[in-house]
Structure 1
Amino acid sequence: MAYQNMSSPVYKPGPAPESGGVKVFNDMVHSFLDLVQPNAFPTDLLTKLIKDNFQVQEETNKILIYEVGFLVALAIGILFIVLMPLVGLFFSCCRCCGNCGGRRHQKQTKKTDCKRRFIYLFLFAITLVILAGDVCAFFTNNKISTAVNNSLDVFNDTLDNMKTYINSVPKEIDFIISASTIPIQKGNDSILRIGPILGGMILAQIGTVANTTLDSLFNMVNVLNSTAKYMSDVKNSFNSLQDKQQNISKDLRIVQQEINSTLTKCAGACSGGPTVDGLTLEANFSTIPDFSDKMKLIQDMLGSGIDSDIQKAYKTLNDIPETVTNQTRSTVSGVQDQLVNIKNKINETRSRIPVVDSLENVNKEIDGVSGKVHQYKPDVARYDHYRWIVGICLCCVILLVVLCNVFGLLLGPCGHNSKADPTERSCPSNSGGHFFMAGAAFSFIFSWLLMLVVLVLFLAGGNSYTLICKPWGNQQLFKFLDTPNLINGFNLSQMLNIKDSNLSISSLYSNCEKNESLWTTLDLNKMFNLDEYLNISKYTDEVAGTVENTQISLKGITFINANQRDLVNNVSKSGIDALNFGDITQQMTKNTTKTDLGSFANQLEALANQPAAANFSTELKNEADTLRNIQSSIDGSLLPEIKNINRSIYNLQVISSQLPASLNKTLKSIDEAQTFVDTQTSDIVKNESKVFLNTLLGYFQAYIDWAKTMLTKEVARCGPVAKTVDAAHILACGYIVDSLNAFWFSLGWCTIFLIPSIILSVKLAKYYRRMKTSEVFEDSDLNHVEMVSTSHQFLIPRVTTKS
């Protein structure tokens, strides 16, 4: 009995985790955060904080110890925020006072060009690093917006998948319940066809013996018919042979007298002629064994109505299915009523599984969450747009520094002549130096702001990763949420209306990740006794009682009556196997006549042709022709008849020699079959009725076993629930938190490298800017002579006092 497979619901595709270069970059950020926060997940600390309503006074030390990595980074960041503006201010004042390169004086040495190139290459490399970080910042800034916008849609798709899953559970249960129509229909078909089925089973058991015996009895009758026929053939052939033998013998006597008379008249003229003593029959077919009494016994047996009795027995046997049908009409009606009760009992199981109602509550909660998401979606998009603008501005600040460095790197070497006096450097070279100084100035101005943003995002995103995303990914967060009484009023078992179950989030996720059924995942065996819900034994017992109380009585099968049995015994004991046809068989080996009639006729013709017997020539020739005619009669009628009787005797002897043994064997088989039918029929009816009943009840037991298997292992496989949790993890952590962390990491990367950029820019600027004074020399051995420029166009204005 085969059942259809349940159709799986179609789900929308879930979010895909990051891959490629983005994943590599995120892994780099994760490695940095793991270095900052190497401590294990603070299960005990968080548990105490949550239970104390986040009263942190008592746990301040533990919190600080746990967050020591973030605190160190925070201290460094704050130090950066404080020092960078101060250093920039002091640096500016220092330059205004003519120090820190503000005097714009440059010494010319042999190593000047080497130093310039070295600093140029380092600044170029630093600028590329800052540019790479800024590109990552631009990308991750846009990725945050993309993640936020896409996450809302993907989140709704995920909720739709959950609703699809929840809505599929009642359908799958209904599918299993509705499948009960299969065993009901099979049972109804079986009970309606109880005659052909049960009757056929009974017929097969009885027929194994009865049909074999009837076939043997039928063959026995055929053998007796053949025996009677062969006896009749022997008798008829013998009578015909005797008649022909008498006729030929009479003809031979007549012709013998005629030839003898002719030869006597011929006297001396026919001397030396043949003698007529041999013109007689040598074989004598005058006697045959008498088997008329045996033949009469066989005919009496065949005439006893045995043929009609055999056909009647066949009909009684073949009518068993119809007999069963006629005698079980009330049983069929009763079982059909009980099948209706079984169907109603199985249908009641649907309403007794309350998990469906619990899932409906979850469905309502999902609808509420989905509605809130739609409600806040415009606000989220608007605020994210503001955030995107701020991120773009911050990235542009860094880009401004990069551009200043790039323009300085491009313009500085343009028009620069290492042999030219520093006070007379070209305008492009001087402009490049100014761009370097502008980049340094912008770095001092905005670096503290960048670091401030990095610190805020670092603390938010870093802690989100270490306290939420990382333990979520390794399922440690689920174990933490399973802490008893962690959240007041939160009980997963009560939410799902499951009593007497210690259901945990971690076990729920673990089982769903393996795509286990909801029955196994929620451990519903402790709450629901499925055997009790699907217990239809009361109704199957009624079916069994109805079938077992059915009385089936079959007509007796009689293979042979007493008279026919006696007749068969008489035939068997009649000595039919001892018939002796030796005399007649011996006569068949002799010649038909003592003298060959053809040779004798030739002798007569030869005698007639002699001149001495010319007066008797006509008589002799006529007599010779008569002999030839007699020989032709012997060859044409007597000899074929001899062959016929010989063949009939042979057939009769062959069949009659085995007839007693065959009859005795058949009678023994009939006795055994009659005993079997008389003693075993009722047991066969009971046994086959039990087999039929077991088959009938087996339909329902097979359905119950299948239904239990489906309900406990196949229905509501909760893989979609685990995929929903994974999708939420990907959305919250993989898309938003990781993108946020990648953004501040990129900004922090750029901000940190602004320090070497400032140093190298300031150092490189003096090699390209036009100096006020310089030291030149004509030979390496000459002392330096300071040349003072009279130009005042590049002097920084200073505050002076009147004299």
Structure 2
Amino acid sequence: MIMRCLILLAITLLVFSEVSSTNTNNNGDITWASLPEGQEYSEEKFDGDRFPLDTTWNSIDGFLKFISPGDPPYEIISDAIGGEFVTTDYEPVDYYNEFKDNILGFTVLFAIGIIFIVVFPIVALCFCCCRCCNKCGGTMEQKSSSTCMCCYLIIGLIVSCAFILGGVGTAYSLNNYTADSVETFADDVNSNIDNIVRFVENTNDELSFLVGEQLNYALDQVKIDLNDIGNLVGVPVRDELDNEVGPAITSVKDLATSIDDTYDKLVVVNDTQNELADLYRLFKAKIDQVRASIGNDCSSCSCCSMSGFPDYANDYVSNVDYQDLGVDNGLFPQFAVDQSTNELQGLKDDDLASVAAEGEQTFIDIPETLTNSTQSDIDSISENIEGFQDDIQDAVDDLTSELDSVLDETDKWSSHIDDFGETAQDYDVYRVYMMAGIFGLILLVPIIWLLGLSCGLLGRSSDALPTERGCISNCGGCLLILGAALVFIFGTFLMILTTLPFIIGGPVDRLFCDPFQSGEVYKETVDKKGAIPGVDGYYLSDLLLNDSSIPLKISAILDACENNEAIYTASKLEYLVNISEYLNYKEFMPDIDSQFENITGDFSNIDILPDSGKQTLEEFGNSSVISINFTLFNEELGKDITMDSDDPNDLSVSAAAITDYIDDHGFTGSNESALITMAGYLTDLQSNFIDPMVAKRDALVTALDELQASTTQIEMNVNSTLTEIEAAQTYIDSNIDSLIDSEVSSYSDRVLGYAEQYVNYVNDQVQTEVGRCKPLYNVYEDSLNLICVSLLQSWNSLWFCIGWCLFFMLAGIVYSIKLAKYFRKMQFSEDTYDEIEMSNVNKNGGWIKLPSMDHLYLDHTEHV
């Protein structure tokens, strides 16, 4: 059950997605489909947060802001953009005053670095000469504070080594970061290029969709409606006319039905009347025969003369005449019925229903008539629209081909970048080796110092004389001197590696990256109204839009793109390219309105009732059926059939009376036989003649009533219908042209409304949906990160780490050389002596006074 529900849900979502992505036309109102989704943008982008040591970068950034606190020279940048920056106008003092906050710190530090590079080798040389030529070496005295000084120096050296090790560790960590940056650089750049290409392609696809597929759909709706003018114009006109014409046509149809119905009833009356006349003739002959037979029977017996016997001579006589002897004779009007039947037969043969249907069809065919009579006008409009469609499609094709040619070049760029990336990765290994060598050398110094310090502390005896120190202690002192010597040897080289990258990376960070990353460079130059010489308003709008009053700002464009607005709105391109003007179809089809005004149609063939139909109606209204004397009919049919006194319409009553008469008088023999025969005559006459004639008479009465009901309003209905037909035809002739004009106006609004809807739709899509530029903002931000984070952080971290280590190595030189005399073994010389007072030596927790020693001096390498 759950699986079925999931399948049903999936189908529903699929159908909904298909419906929602399809244009729909709801009686002239188009619901537009969504823009195509396009290609997905690459998610491979530079991670600006992957710098491994934020504290290090914050320190670098803080240091650079400290030495260069001033803002970039935005005025000079503005002058340079405006083409009015002239270097000859500036004196040295002007440069100093203008740029002191920006470059003074960099200049001073660079100068210090150069001085260091020049002076430090001289200092190192002097130091070596002094130590190697026995020219200096310091005193042999050890005062009471020497032990404390030794502790201070040890702590200072350990702290210096710790900072140097921290710098080396930071460098190795950043070295991996730099290697990763080099490895991903080509991919990051190509990812940005791909995103730009995809943005252009997606925007191109969206524009092609709008100007291509959607325009074609709108114009197809126009063509469909143009080919459906019959339904859109003719049907409403016909429906409007039908309010007046419909009842008239219905009346004609009713009269056509009435003719057939009246004729059918006349036929029934005529047939019934003829059958009744035939029965009457048989009855008349039979009743005369019965009277004769009864007279003969009565003459042979004496019963007929007796009191109470029926008066056969008077009772058994026909009281009606159902034969057509002519109206003038005052008898049954069979002639009038025959005449009316013949007349209606002719009217029926005229087939008024068909004639009325033909007239009605001309009215029904108003849409088709309109379509046929306006085909040439519609074809002209269609050709005009197809020409407009072809022009637009050609423009789209030209734009697409130009964009394709530009995008083809990006493949070459990507190929070059891939090659560059591969080359950079190939050579980056040498950078890794060089960095490993440089920082390995730097790492060697604190290791030697720490090793020397360890040996010195482990081998040093507090009660041993300087001349009696052990080899381990002496080795520790030598290692301290060795570490200092390495600094003297490579210090200049390390300062070069600090100064040169610093003087490049520092200004780039402060004068380029910081203002670009914060956006201040735009706000203070091109985005600032009146900041660019020669432009009173906004520079960018003056450059691109030729109107400096428009507030077009790069920072505003970046903010809009960050919010993923459409590029058209973000860049205020409406001031440069008015989409509505390009989609103003009336400029391409200036005579479109007049073409619609020429649509009129020819409706001269509309005749809802031809003359033949009118003539048939008039003949029907004047037919003899309306003059039939139904009173005479009814009077004749209302008469009793016989003159029988017992029951004129039922001779079986008289037959029964004769039978009773026989019983009452007791007749026997021939009299009884004669009377019984007489009763049989009457019974036979009743059952075989009178009863059928009565039934047929009653049927004729019913048929006559129905015929009379049909013919009562014939004349009035015919006259009324003819009047309605005439009024309806006049209404058609008088109003159809104005109705056509009114509906054509609405029809024109509907057809051209597709174009208006399309223009509004395109305007809305271009301003809100087409080319949402968040990908461009991502590319811009990613490019800055690649330059100012990936490359610049690695570059600045190089000089910062080397400079950091060099600074603490210089401190370590002092600590290491001063500590060396506490660990190295002193040597004797007998050439000369100085009285050295070894006092206040700590021995076994106390201080003792050493005696003077002739011919003793301390090795000159003990002091700086």
Q: Which residue of 1 aligns with 2:353?
A: 307
AA partner of residue 101 (structure 2): I
Change (3 A) 1:374 1:615: closer
Q: Which residue of 2 aligns with 1:484?
A: 532
Q: Which residue of 2 aligns with 1:540?
A: 589
Aligned length: 765
Residue 564 of structure 1: how far off its partner (Å): 4.2
Alignment of 1:354-433 (within 5 A): 387-397=431-441, 399-400=443-444
Structure 1: distance between partners of 2:221 and 2:173: 67
Change (3 A) 1:389 1:302: same
Q: Which residue of 1 aligns with 2:832?
A: none
Residue 666 of structure 1: how far off its partner (Å): 3.5
Change (3 A) 1:391 1:247: same
Structure 1: distance between partners of 2:626 and 2:170: 121
AA partner of residue 729 (structure 1): L
Q: Which residue of 2 aligns with 1:218?
A: 253
Alignment of 1:33-432 (within 5 A): 36=66, 39-44=70-75, 47=78, 51-53=85-87, 57-66=93-102, 134-159=168-193, 161-162=195-196, 209-210=244-245, 213-238=248-273, 240-241=275-276, 244=279, 292=337, 302=348, 306-317=352-363, 327=373, 331=377, 338=384, 342=388, 346=392, 387-397=431-441, 399-400=443-444
- Report the more deviating stretch, 678-687 or 498-507: 498-507
Q: 2:477, 2:819 within 8 Å by CA — same for their partners in 1?
A: no
- Report the more deviating stretch, 202-211 or 138-147: 202-211
2:94 match: secondary structure:
coil
Residue 150 of structure 1: how far off its partner (Å): 3.2
Residue 682 of structure 1: how far off its partner (Å): 3.3
1:58 match: secondary structure:
helix
Residue 729 of structure 1: how far off its partner (Å): 0.8
Q: Could you give the per-residue CA deviations for residues 5-47 of structure 1, whole angstroms, max 9, x where no partner exists?
A: 5674666555233236748557745763586366555423655
Change (3 A) 1:64 1:548: closer
Change (3 A) 1:178 1:321: same
Structure 2: distance between partners of 1:351 and 1:221: 65
* Matching residue within 703, 710, 727 for 2:782: 727
- 1:557 equivalenced with 2:603 (yes/no): no
Residue 390 of structure 1: how far off its partner (Å): 3.6
Residue ranges of structure 1 left out of the alignment (5+ in a row): 108-114, 778-782, 789-795
Structure 1: distance between partners of 2:61 and 2:93: 31
Q: 1:578, 1:657 within 8 Å by CA — same for their partners in 2?
A: no
- Report the more deviating stretch, 428-437 or 498-507: 428-437
Residue 468 of structure 1: how far off its partner (Å): 1.9
Structure 1: distance between partners of 2:691 and 2:849: 170
2:256 match: secondary structure:
helix
Residue 60 of structure 1: how far off its partner (Å): 1.3
- Report the more deviating stretch, 572-581 or 674-683: 572-581
2:45 match: secondary structure:
coil
Residue 739 of structure 1: how far off its partner (Å): 3.2
Structure 1: distance between partners of 2:767 and 2:302: 129
Change (3 A) 1:145 1:644: same
Structure 1: distance between partners of 2:45 and 2:383: 54
Alignment of 1:712-723 (within 5 A): 721-723=776-778
- 1:798 equivalenced with 2:852 (yes/no): no
Structure 2: distance between partners of 1:398 and 1:102: 36
Residue 798 of structure 1: how far off its partner (Å): 2.5
Residue 475 of structure 1: how far off its partner (Å): 1.9
AA partner of residue 463 (structure 1): P
- 1:679 equivalenced with 2:734 (yes/no): yes
Structure 1: distance between partners of 2:806 and 2:841: 35
- Report the more deviating stretch, 310-319 or 605-614: 605-614
Structure 1: distance between partners of 2:143 and 2:686: 167
Q: Which residue of 2 aligns with 1:469?
A: 513
Q: Which residue of 1 aligns with 2:724?
A: 669
RMSD: 7.0
AA partner of residue 188 (structure 2): V
Q: Which residue of 2 aligns with 1:111?
A: none
AA partner of residue 787 (structure 2): A
Residue 557 of structure 1: how far off its partner (Å): 0.8
2:532 match: secondary structure:
coil
Structure 1: distance between partners of 2:824 and 2:282: 167
Residue 674 of structure 1: how far off its partner (Å): 1.2
Q: 1:454, 1:748 within 8 Å by CA — same for their partners in 2?
A: yes
Q: Percent identity?
A: 21
Q: 1:349, 1:533 within 8 Å by CA — same for their partners in 2?
A: no
Q: Which residue of 2 aligns with 1:738?
A: 793
Structure 2: distance between partners of 1:343 and 1:541: 15
Change (3 A) 1:62 1:275: same
Alignment of 1:605-684 (within 5 A): 637=692, 641=696, 644-645=699-700, 647-648=702-703, 651-652=706-707, 655=710, 663=718, 666-684=721-739
Q: 2:248, 2:725 within 8 Å by CA — same for their partners in 1?
A: yes
Residue 222 of structure 1: how far off its partner (Å): 0.6
Q: Which residue of 1 aligns with 2:834?
A: none
Change (3 A) 1:394 1:228: same
AA partner of residue 484 (structure 1): I
Q: Which residue of 2 aligns with 1:792?
A: none
- Report the more deviating stretch, 727-736 or 25-34: 25-34
- Report the more deviating stretch, 746-755 or 391-400: 746-755
Residue 437 of structure 1: how far off its partner (Å): 5.9
1:229 match: secondary structure:
helix
Change (3 A) 1:241 1:361: closer
Residue 732 of structure 1: how far off its partner (Å): 0.5
Q: 1:577, 1:658 within 8 Å by CA — same for their partners in 2?
A: no
Residue 750 of structure 1: how far off its partner (Å): 6.3
AA partner of residue 798 (structure 1): D
- Report the more deviating stretch, 209-218 or 709-718: 709-718
* Matching residue within 14, 32, 35 for 2:62: 32
Structure 2: distance between partners of 1:625 and 1:443: 170
AA partner of residue 222 (structure 1): T
Q: Which residue of 1 aligns with 2:21?
A: none
TM-score (norm 1): 0.67
Q: Could you give the per-residue CA deviations for residues 559-601 of structure 1, whole angstroms, max 9, x where no partner exists?
A: 254544544655799589998998699889xx99777959976
AA partner of residue 739 (structure 1): S
Residue 232 of structure 1: how far off its partner (Å): 3.6
Structure 1: distance between partners of 2:283 and 2:250: 49
Residue 406 of structure 1: how far off its partner (Å): 8.7
Q: 1:285, 1:587 within 8 Å by CA — same for their partners in 2?
A: no
TM-score (norm 2): 0.63
Q: Which residue of 2 aligns with 1:112?
A: none
1:737 match: secondary structure:
helix
Q: Could you give the per-residue CA deviations for residues 292-334 of structure 1, whole angstroms, max 9, x where no partner exists?
A: 4877876675565533432331343455566556655665665
Structure 2: distance between partners of 1:125 and 1:585: 149
Structure 1: distance between partners of 2:485 and 2:700: 143
